[in-house]
Amino acid sequence: MNPNFLQTPVAYLKGVGPNRAETLKSELGIETYRDLLHLFPNRYLDRTAYYKINQLHASGADVQVIGKIVHIKTVEQRRGKRLVATFMDDTGEMELVWFRGHKWIRENLKINEPYVVFGKVSKYGKTFSMPHPEMELLAKHEQGLKIAMQPIYPSTEKLSAKGITNRVLGKMMQQLFLDSQGNFPESLSPKIIEELRLISKSKALFNIHFPKDQELLAKARFRLKFEELFYVQLQLISKKMLRKQKIKGLPFDQVGEKFNTFFKKHLPFELTKAQKKVIKEIRADLGSNAQMNRLLQGDVGSGKTIVALMCMLLAIDNGFQACLMAPTEILANQHYNGLKELLGSMELKIALLTGSTKKSERTLLHNQLENGNLNILVGTHAVLEDKVQFKNLGLAIVDEQHRFGVAQRSKLWHKNQIPPHILVMTATPIPRTLAMSLYGDLDISVIDELPPGRKPIKTVHRFDSNRLKVFRFIKDEIKKGRQIYIVYPLIQESEALDFKDLMDGYESIVRDFPMPDYQISIVHGKMKPADKDYEMERFVNGETQIMVATTVIEVGVNVPNASVMIIESAERFGLSQLHQLRGRVGRGAEQSFCILMTGSKLSEDAKTRLQTMVRTNDGFEIAEVDLKLRGPGDLMGTQQSGLLHLKIADIVKDNQILKTARYHAIQLLKEDPNLEKPENSPIRIAYTKMMQSAVIWGYIS
């Protein structure tokens, strides 16, 4: 086969032509033979069985029947006409019906010739009928490519309107296989094929489009899913290995006085096992002569800030500066105040840089950074500005990384001759499957236990009919001196409606919790920023007992005295949002509660979300359920999902295949890092093509 055969523009395929090629490109992104080959069916119709007319049921399933047309007539109806053919076999008769294209169909139908008809069957009175059936003369049907199971390809309204039906796509695919003689180059090594008992590349591609039976289809799908995930992992892992070899890191070879002083005198509580394990992993990276690129995942309140500070102290002990970047001013302020409090009387210079920093302060700050007097800089995107120059930046920590693009991260790299070590932190637990695919080029550390003394939050689901009991419970908590959040959903499309819900709710709470016994704050999106801050401040200072809010409660607002989170219309929130909101309470030593309020009508997905929240406080378990419910694209937001345009694999459903693929990619690169061994040449050729086209699937055959 000509190696460039698959690069041929699809317009050259018999039965396509320039007009159809244009439609295929605009609707499905198909430009070449290779693109067409990788248009995989979404489902299959089993055409191995032929039914007799007396075996038919109006089940809504597609069936095929062999028989003859014995009579054709046109029937007038209220709007236009319909064409009706009487179709018989040796057990009875049924009707074939057409509502359009009468003239052409009538001219082409042959009376008393055996046909195979295929379509959905419905029943009118005692008669079965099949509207707009697919038809083929039996003689021709028996000569055709024996397709036991008919593939159904992805389609759009425009494709159907332009006459590119499923049948036409199937014909194009048959033509492609005839032209190529079904012969495609192998793209995996004999060792992997043998170990996993995979079928060959050509056999897999043939059976994904024209499966002979269910068993061969299953083998074809496994082979192609494995291959797709294998190359994703190969790309990520080789990128990681290359970085470790090529990019020399700054050597942090000593644990010095600052780290030890903090550890012995200023640590507010004993580190958890998980925190110790993570610090050990980071220290190994920092002392390894390679640049660190690590993702630190830890649930809300698991103590990531302490770990971050101890890493910064290692940088300072080795003569370097450190910076911590957060996505919002509120979070940057909170980090800055938190770090200052932890450092106490230690002699270290720490400063804050945000959009609100005054010009006079900035000038001073820039000078201190450049002459090395400033040890730690905490800030927002303002840190990335070109004016901000460090004397020697050794460690950059990025909080909530998914809010920063890759381009912004690379700006941090260029703040020093040798790129600084990078630690990325997130409180949004990323399911392990997704982390392997999205952050496979980073090393991953997880803090999976809460500091001692933290009690797990008790979560319950209550219907609106229980509201009076819930209000009684709130009054008891307020008597104990606690504070309460009551959160209402805010969904852009129905903002007016949501605002009404919020105000109605606020009024009923004011009635049940009258002044002067109770003080209530309210915060929503239509308020001026200064008013919002004022209300937030009153709640933080304990002047109000109840905070009624839409979801504007920023991630990271810390009120240790707030012990109850009530989420109204909880069925309208996503799982990760529910988990983030619950994390607003449980920050003090007291028992905290989260109450999910809903109406009585709930969808299956909503029930699953609520049951998951009641059952577990484990962010990772919640993220796994969320991933199953929503799919990877929605979970990571649009900018991240672009990495996962997978053609056939699904990283949620094919979790086991993903693990197998990752294992084999790691083994291969350990034994043959440059893919030089002759037996690995099929992988090297496919991989090189892939890197040229920069699309995961484009290269594989």
pLDDT in tens, 474-492: 999 999 999 999 998 875 5
Which helix (H) or strand (E) element contains residue 155? none
Top-confidence residue, 27 or 150: 27
Q: CA dist 246 to 57, 171, 242, 290, 466, Å? A: 67, 50, 6, 8, 63
Q: CA dist 596 to 565, 571, 613, Å? A: 8, 8, 9
655/628 Cα distance (integer angstroms): 11
Angle at 399 between CA 404 and CA 406, to 5 degrees: 25
Strand boundaries in 288-427, DSSP class E: 293-298, 321-325, 350-353, 376-379, 393-399, 421-426
45/48 Cα distance (integer angstroms): 9
Using the 8-state DSSP alphabet, how is residue 265 labeled? I
How is residue 601 written in tokens?
């009508």
Q: Are 69 and 110 in contact (CB under 8 A)?
A: yes
DSSP helix/strand/coil, 679:
helix
Angle at 391 between CA 390 and CA 395, to 5 degrees: 65
Top-confidence residue, 441 or 613: 613
pLDDT given for residue 576 in this prediction? 80
Top-confidence residue, 673 or 693: 673
**Chain centroid to CA 524:** 29
Q: CA dist 689 to 39, 49, 223, 692, 700, Å? A: 19, 42, 20, 5, 8
How is residue 200 written in tokens?
């060959």
97 beta partners: 84, 131
How is residue 690 written in tokens?
């892939």
Percentage of residues of the chain with pLDDT beyond 70: 89
Q: What is the CB neighbour count within 10 angstroms for residue 13?
A: 20
Query: Does pLDDT of 462 surpass 90?
Result: yes
How is residue 267 written in tokens?
């640590």
622 beta partners: none
Of the chain, the end-to-end C-alpha distance in Å amounts to 12
Residue 410 pLDDT class (50, 70, 90 cuts): low
293 beta partners: 422
39/16 Cα distance (integer angstroms): 15
Q: Which position has the token pair 């390679």?
A: 290
Query: Does pLDDT of 270 surpass 50?
Result: yes
Query: Does pLDDT of 640 surpass 70?
Result: no
Query: Does pLDDT of 324 surpass 60?
Result: yes
Q: Which position has the token pair 């004993």?
A: 270
Q: Is the Cα torsion angle 379, 384, 389, 394 positive or negative in sign?
A: positive
DSSP helix/strand/coil, 600:
coil
Query: Does pLDDT of 636 surpass 50?
Result: no
DSSP helix/strand/coil, 158:
helix
| CATH fold group of domain 458-616 | Rossmann fold (3.40.50)
Q: What is the CB neighbour count within 10 angstroms for residue 320?
A: 22
44/304 Cα distance (integer angstroms): 49
Nearest to 240 by CA among 445, 446, 443, 424: 443
Q: CA dist 258 to 25, 279, 312, 345, 683, Å? A: 61, 15, 10, 12, 49
pLDDT given for residue 98 in this prediction? 92
547/554 Cα distance (integer angstroms): 13
pLDDT given for residue 482 in this prediction? 93
pLDDT given for residue 519 in this prediction? 93
Nearest to 653 by CA among 446, 429, 440, 434: 434
20/80 Cα distance (integer angstroms): 31
Q: Where are the domains of the chain?
A: 48-146, 257-286+303-426, 458-616
Residue 698 pLDDT class (50, 70, 90 cuts): very low
- Radius of gyration of the chain from Cα atoms? 32
Q: Is the Cα torsion angle 670, 671, 677, 678 positive or negative in sign?
A: negative
For residues 424-446, average pLDDT:
76
Q: Are 148 and 214 in contact (CB under 8 A)?
A: no
625/431 Cα distance (integer angstroms): 9
Domains 48-146 and 458-616 equal at CATH topology level: no
Q: Are 327 and 404 in contact (CB under 8 A)?
A: yes
pLDDT given for residue 613 in this prediction? 95
**pLDDT per residue over 89-146, tens digit each?**
999 999 999 988 888 888 889 999 999 999 888 888 888 999 999 899 998 888 765 5
Architecture of domain 48-146: Beta Barrel (2.40)
How is residue 144 written in tokens?
């055709």
pLDDT given for residue 642 in this prediction? 38
Q: Are 431 and 437 in contact (CB under 8 A)?
A: no
653/631 Cα distance (integer angstroms): 10
459 beta partners: 594
Q: Are 290 and 248 in contact (CB under 8 A)?
A: yes
267/422 Cα distance (integer angstroms): 24
DSSP helix/strand/coil, 129:
strand
119/79 Cα distance (integer angstroms): 24
Query: Does pLDDT of 182 surpass 70?
Result: yes
For residues 582-611, average pLDDT:
89
Q: Which position has the token pair 């929605």?
A: 634
One-letter amino acid at 100 equals R
For residues 296-310, average pLDDT:
86
Residue 282 pLDDT class (50, 70, 90 cuts): very high
65/114 Cα distance (integer angstroms): 10
Q: Which position has the token pair 């440059």?
A: 674
Q: Are 201 and 701 in contact (CB under 8 A)?
A: yes
Q: What is the per-residue DSSP string for 405-470?
A: -HHHHHHHHTTSSSPPEEEEEESSPPPHHHHHHHSTTSEEEEE-SPPTTPPPPEEEEEEGGGHHHH
Contacts of 360 (CB under 8 A, 6+ apart): none
Nearest to 38 by CA among 50, 24, 48, 52: 24
Architecture of domain 257-286+303-426: 3-Layer(aba) Sandwich (3.40)
Contacts of 249 (CB under 8 A, 6+ apart): 285, 286, 288, 289, 290, 291, 292, 418, 419, 421
How is residue 96 written in tokens?
């074939």
How is residue 34 written in tokens?
């290779």
pLDDT given for residue 344 in this prediction? 86
DSSP helix/strand/coil, 279:
helix
